[in-house]
Each structure stands twice: as C-alpha cells, then as structure tokens.
Structure 1
C-alpha cells in the first residue's frame, strides 16, 4: 500500500469513528491556558477560574500568572473534544490520547464548517477565541498584514509561527485599559510642548517643524514628520533612553506634589514601575489612551500599534499568533520591522457598543471577515435562540448555569467554564437556571456570507 492509499484509509477510518452525521453534533471542548508573566496571579484571574472549571484541574496555583484562555484550532494552544462514553475508544483507535478540534473538523470540513467557510479557510477555524486577564502591560506591538506575515514566517518560523494576519477585537469584561493607534497631530504638538524629555531625543528642528506645519497643504508633510519623530524615539540608544526616562520620572514625581497629573502622565509612571528604562514608556505618549467599560469593544487592524494595559476581556482574532514587538517587553523585539510596517494612521479608535439582536444579546462585528462576537446575558429562567448560520460557532459560559437545546432536539446542561462547538447550520436555544447566565459566542462575521 502506498502512502496516498494509506492516508485515504486513515481518513475513512476517522470519519467512521468520529460519526457519520456530524453536522448534528454539539461538541464540548477542553481548552488551553497560557501562563505569560503579564497575567493575573492565581484565583484572582478570570482565566485561571475558567481554565480550572473547564479542565477539572482543581484550584489554580496561587503563584502562577494566568494570562490567556485559548479556544480554537491554532497549533500553539489547540482545543480538544470531550466525547463522553465513546471518547476513549475513538481516541485509542485514532492512535492518540485525545482528539483535537482540528482533527474532528478535518474529517469533513464542509459538513462541520459550512462549504463556503471550508473553501475559504480549509480545515481550520478562521478565528481564535480567548479570554485575557491582564495585570501588567503587554508589549507595544503590531500584527502584520498577510503579505508581511508570510515573509516573517518564512524568514523566522520559530518566532512568527504562522503565515496569517491577525486583526483582533477586545471586548471588555471589566474596566479595560489599552493604548491603541496614534494620537492626532494636535495632541502631538501638545506633547512636544510639554514633554522636554521627548524633544531632547528628536533630531534638531523636527519638533519645531512639526509645530509649524498645519492645514491641508501640510498634511502629508506632517505625517512624514510624525513618522520621523516616532522612529527616532524608538531607535534611540538604550543609554540615552534610560537617561531621558530617569529625567521624566523625576520631573513628574516632583510635579504631582504641586498639581494633578494628567491620565496619560499617571499611566507613564505606572508603566515605568513595570518596565524601568524601557523605550515603550516614551512610545506611550504617541498612542491613544483608551478606557473601555464592560460591554465596550475595541478592534485593531493589521499594522496598527497597540498595547493592552490592564483588566479582563474577551478577545477574538483571525487564527494567528504573530506579534511584532518593540517595547514594554522582555521578549524579542524587532523595532525596525515594526517601524516599517506601521500605517501611521492618526486619531482616536472606534469603540464598538454592540448592536442589539434581542433584549439579552448584543453583536460586535468588526470590519473583518474572520470573526464576530455575541454577548448574551440571560436573567433567571430566561431563554434565547441563536439562529442557524452557514458557519461554525464557539460558545463560552462565563458564569451561571442553564440548558441548551439544538435544532436536532439534543438537550444538554450548561455551566460556567464550559466551551461548546456548534457546527454550521445548527440552531440552538439556551435557557438560564436559577441565576443569571452570561455567555459569549464567536463565529464567522455575517458579512462574509452576505453574497451567498
């Protein structure tokens, strides 16, 4: 038997073992945790609590940082299917201790994902669904577009682990702070007039030129100067940066005795406490300081600078883990790559409030095909239906208990920490129990199916 015949036989065996009419099956998933050092420690972390409940692993380690709870098919943190009684037999027959969601999908992608999704993205979920618990600021970073992602992956596959782009959205569970996108020219003029430590690092005359160039005729020139000033800051010698930050800290510490520091100045001192002498502290002056309330969302496109600062959120993105870092991190930095890829778009980012689908559910749909997120809060004994859609969905229960019934009359209990995979063309109805039920759904953006 040749290799091609062997692979064909294995695929038929998998299809038989994993079920024939797989479109009708609701799947429970066990999911992955990432313990990055910026995460929230132990039981204080929403990520830790959800992972503990989802995995049955017991009380979270009180010394461990729990940063991200991953749900999806990405190889850096895959989800696995929980089958119930036939799980051990199926897993053993497939030659493994567990069956990944990716393996389940790969048997018949069209039936599980829907034909249009399978044609576009193959046997992968096009989105990665996460919960983040942020105690300490993440890096100043950007995510590459598809062309750059392919180049970075080819050149450094151990660092850039896939060739996909990574547009993303953060939907606040608690108050959530972030830096995102470049401030306006007007705001930068204010920075250059009030932060001498920044001006000292900029090439002679650039700051003055920026302050005088204005109006429509000078718009392109202003953008070029903005890019030049930011690049000079980010490329400055480490010793010079350290001295500038030392001066900045000393000045702000003195001034806060005499006046109320601005929100950005207070943030600068917090960042300095977390990442002393890091150039990302200075970079923060150039970025919009965003504060989300629970239920508000922020989306970040390719080549946009950002950094999450604190709080907890639901995050959804295209299936990728590509990050180009340049500050506020102990990980590898690629300053020149970041500077070359940024779009230098200025202005405050759009904040999504969600669109009401019914009295319990709001939809958050960023301008990317790969994903959208629904937020559902069900009071005691309330019910809501999620209509059949031509793509897959992931459901995460944040708190509470209830029941779920599919359009194929399959009924099951629901409780906090559970993650469900719902295949394409399956309607589900959910009813809360004796307390409020909070859940989130991630799926392919409805705009992708608009011309179906």
Structure 2
C-alpha cells in the first residue's frame, strides 16, 4: 500500500502514525511524564527535562494531527519527510478505511480522538458543550472554540488517577455550608439558605435550580479578586491550624494542594461542591456533554469525540467563560452502580430522577483472558485494554469501523491477513475497517490499547 494511494478490498494493512504532543503547564516534567516518553519513542525527538509534557494526541483533529509514516516491507519505519500526508488527508483520499456505516454517519472523518495524559497538577474546572452549543460557540468565537463538534469523553486510568466530577448531593452540600464558613462568606446567607432549607421531596428540577444558583453565585465572585483572596486566606489558615489537632478529610487535603497550584483562584473553594473521584489502574470514568469535571493527578488514556472544545471557569490561567459554563451545565447528580455491566453503561432513570451518588466507574468487561472493553454510552468510541504475557497471542476480530492502537509497554507482533508489523512501546497504528488483527507478545508483557467506534453503533445503525 502506498501512502496516499488506495486500499484494496483484500488488503487490510496497519498504518503507522507519528503523533502530536501538547506541552500544557499542568503536564508532568521531562522524562517523569509517560507522555514525554511515548512521544520521544514515537517521533525520535528527545525529551526536554525542564519542559512539561501533558497530552499525546492520536487522531485527525487539526489542533494536533497525526501523520502517516511510510514503512518498509519488514514493517520498519523509514522516515517522515517534510510534506508528509496527514492521517486526515489520507482518510479523505481513502474513505473506505472507515467503513460504509461510519462514512454514512460521520462523513470522511475519524469520529474519535485518542490521547495519553500525564497530569501533574489540576486541570481547569470545565465542561464540554453539546453539539448544538458547540456550533454556536464555534461560530461566535472560532479562535477559542476550535470546532463545531460535541466532546463526550472517557478516561481509563494507567496509574491511580484523581478527578473532580459532578456535584455532591444537596444533603452533603448542607454539611459543607455548615462546616466551611468561607463559602458562606462568599455566596451570602440568602443563597446558602436555599440549600439549607431544601427538602428532597421538592423534586429534581428544584434541586437543579438550587445547585445552579449556588454555583453561579460562587463562580461569579471571581470577578472580585479581593473577595476570593480574603476567603481563601481564611480557609487555608484555618485548615493549616486544624491539621495540627485533627486529620483533615480527603477533600480538605485536596483543597490545600489546589491552593498551592492556583493561589487566589475561586476553583479552590468550588472544589468542595464536587465529587472527588479516585480511580485505580484499569478503572474508567465517562463524561457526557455539559457535565462539569476537573482532572487532578495521575496518568490515563483518554478517548472522546473528535473535538477540542472546552468551557472553563476555574483552576486555570486560560480563558474563562463563567457565564456560559454556569448556564450550560446539566446540574445532574450522577448515579453509581455495582450492578452488571449492561446497567453500568446505561443511563438509568427512576421516575425521572437520577440515582444520587458518585459517577459511574467502569471496570471493563472481559472479552477473553487478555482483553477488557470499556463501553461508554456514546456512538463515537469505545476502548479495549490488552495485556499479554510473553508468547501469548490474541485476535482482535474484524469490525466494520476503524481503530487506533497504541503500544504502552513491551514488544510484539501485530499481524493482518497480508502483513506483519513489529511493534514496541510508543508505536501507534491505524487499523482500517474489517481488519482482523492478531497480536503476539515477544516481551515479558505487552500492554496496548485500542480505540474504535462503539460496537453497539454497528448493531443499531
């Protein structure tokens, strides 16, 4: 197969990719960052030790495109020359690699974006707009909102991973207002009383209205730096003193950490309003459009619809849009489930109410002894986690859509019906639709991840 040429119906070879890196200031420094190591191995570019490495992008988004690497017959890369073809351009020339159903739904576009993240300090308090809002924001502010797509996403932890996600229950918020007087000082007693006098029998819509009112009032206070600075000073002083005589809660310890990272930022106080989620390696968390979140620490793979739209309101030096963020959020209190997987990956309503508690944590569904699948309720993507010991082999069956594979650890072979590629840590490969792929480990362990279009999309479309 020639780069830029057609792909025969019988030839389903893998295509090697050279991928982009993002050096956001919240990334891990130098070789401490998995992103830095992955990018260096993938590109041949050395690691700069005093530079943060935050995100490794694998896909077609114009803000961080991947490029085709031409390869010799033995699978070895033979270089990326100036003017090389981007994956996006190559797909446009060879749309059959996406499969008929994907082309019919999304056109000549890869519908998902795959990433590796190395998080050293908190990301912004943020949400991603739904499709309708994304189109409006992109039209009004194309320099800020880079595309017109929505951005549901899922993170799959590679290490212990921390995040803030969704709002705590109003009953918990009552306790926060009673035990964190600094929040009361910022929002005022009238707003606090909306929470303190709330009864769960008042219903879901009233609960959302109360949450919206409190959150909007708190985040809008960021317009007065003096008010936030004074409240944070009192909060940090009080917690520092109390730490000498009692054990602080996890949330209080987190607030102390965040304040060191983002002094005088309203997002530090706002952290008390959100669920503090901790993932173990191999656990995943998914987020729909207009759901508030902030990643705090750890490393993960992340998959999302192909978009880079973010609306921010705290814990960041970047552009903030408090008004849009506060107006767009769902203010749902998300469910938790330890029931069978078909329930966990579904959005469940009881009499019109979401079950209250933490967000869903996906454990992955074993497809065989080596592969676990993480399936969010979004058409654009799913993620497979594959771990093979030395000499073990597994087959990824042919699917009607495209996939991207990334090798996270070890060495091995990836075989299609017509070709074999030697792979190692840092390799990223695009697999066309209908390609059956056998993977064999030639090291003590081979860890790789696959992103592809959600399998349920093909069964329902």
Output the TM-score relative to the length of structure 1: 0.92
2:394 aligns with 384
Give the alignment partner of residue 143 of structure 2, picking from 154, 158, 164: 158
1:99 aligns with 85
2:348 aligns with none
Of the structure 1 ranges 15-24 and 174-183, higher mean CA displacement relative to structure 2 is found in 15-24
Give the alignment partner of residue 8 of structure 2, picking from 5, 10, 21: 21
Query: Is 1:61 aligned to residue 39 of structure 2?
Result: no
Question: Residue 207 of structure 1: SS of its match in structure 2?
Answer: helix
Distance 1:79 1:250 in 2: 48
Question: Residue 268 of structure 1: SS of its match in structure 2?
Answer: helix
Query: Is 1:413 aligned to residue 399 of structure 2?
Result: no
1:11 aligns with none
Q: Shift in Å at residue 210 of structure 1?
A: 1.7
C-alpha contact 2:3 2:85 (8 A) present in aligned 1: no
1:300 aligns with 287
1:48 aligns with 36
Q: Shift in Å at residue 434 of structure 1?
A: 3.1
Give the alignment partner of residue 120 of structure 1, picking from 101, 105, 124: 105
Give the alignment partner of residue 177 of structure 1, picking from 158, 162, 168: 162
2:441 aligns with 432
C-alpha contact 1:373 1:441 (8 A) present in aligned 2: yes
Output the TM-score relative to the length of structure 2: 0.91
Distance 2:87 2:3 in 1: 16
C-alpha contact 1:169 1:315 (8 A) present in aligned 2: yes
1:444 aligns with 453
Give the 5 Å matches for 1:248-259. 248-259=235-246
Give the 5 Å matches for 1:221-260. 221-236=206-221, 237-260=224-247
Of the structure 1 ranges 217-226 and 308-317, higher mean CA displacement relative to structure 2 is found in 217-226
Query: Is 1:136 aligned to residue 121 of structure 2?
Result: yes
Residues 73-96 of structure 1, C-alpha deviations (whole Å, 9 max, x = no match): 00000000111259999999xxx6
RMSD over aligned Cα atoms: 2.0
Distance 2:231 2:31 in 1: 38
C-alpha contact 1:18 1:90 (8 A) present in aligned 2: no
Question: Residue 256 of structure 2: SS of its match in structure 1?
Answer: helix
Q: Shift in Å at residue 105 of structure 1?
A: 0.6
Residues 228-284 of structure 1, C-alpha deviations (whole Å, 9 max, x = no match): 111110001221111111110011011000100000000000000000010000111
Q: Shift in Å at residue 17 of structure 1?
A: 5.2
Q: Shift in Å at residue 451 of structure 1?
A: 2.6
Structure 1 residues 411, 269: CA separation in 2 closer, same or farther (over 3 Å shift)? same
2:312 aligns with 325
Query: Is 1:374 aligned to residue 361 of structure 2?
Result: no
2:181 aligns with 196
Give the 5 Å matches for 1:279-290. 279-290=266-277
Distance 2:38 2:398 in 1: 27
2:324 aligns with 337
Structure 2: gaps of 5 or more residues: 334-356
Give the alignment partner of residue 67 of structure 2, picking from 67, 73, 80: 80
Distance 1:370 1:16 in 2: 26
Q: Shift in Å at residue 26 of structure 1?
A: 1.3
Question: Residue 235 of structure 1: SS of its match in structure 2?
Answer: helix
Q: Shift in Å at residue 217 of structure 1?
A: 3.1
Question: Residue 77 of structure 1: SS of its match in structure 2?
Answer: coil
Structure 1 residues 219, 124: CA separation in 2 closer, same or farther (over 3 Å shift)? closer
C-alpha contact 1:15 1:107 (8 A) present in aligned 2: no
Question: Residue 54 of structure 1: SS of its match in structure 2?
Answer: helix
Q: Shift in Å at residue 437 of structure 1?
A: 0.3
Q: Shift in Å at residue 25 of structure 1?
A: 2.4
C-alpha contact 1:140 1:280 (8 A) present in aligned 2: yes
C-alpha contact 2:69 2:77 (8 A) present in aligned 1: no
2:359 aligns with 349
Residues 409-442 of structure 1, C-alpha deviations (whole Å, 9 max, x = no match): 3112111110010000000000001310000000
Q: Shift in Å at residue 18 of structure 1?
A: 1.6
Distance 2:360 2:84 in 1: 41
1:10 aligns with none
Residues 296-355 of structure 1, C-alpha deviations (whole Å, 9 max, x = no match): 001111001100000000000000000000000000100001001011012411000010
Total equivalences in the alignment: 433
1:212 aligns with 197
Distance 1:222 1:103 in 2: 48
Structure 1 residues 358, 416: CA separation in 2 closer, same or farther (over 3 Å shift)? same
Distance 2:20 2:53 in 1: 11
Distance 2:202 2:243 in 1: 39
Residues 27-76 of structure 1, C-alpha deviations (whole Å, 9 max, x = no match): 01000000000000001000000000000113x11111000000000000
Distance 2:151 2:434 in 1: 26
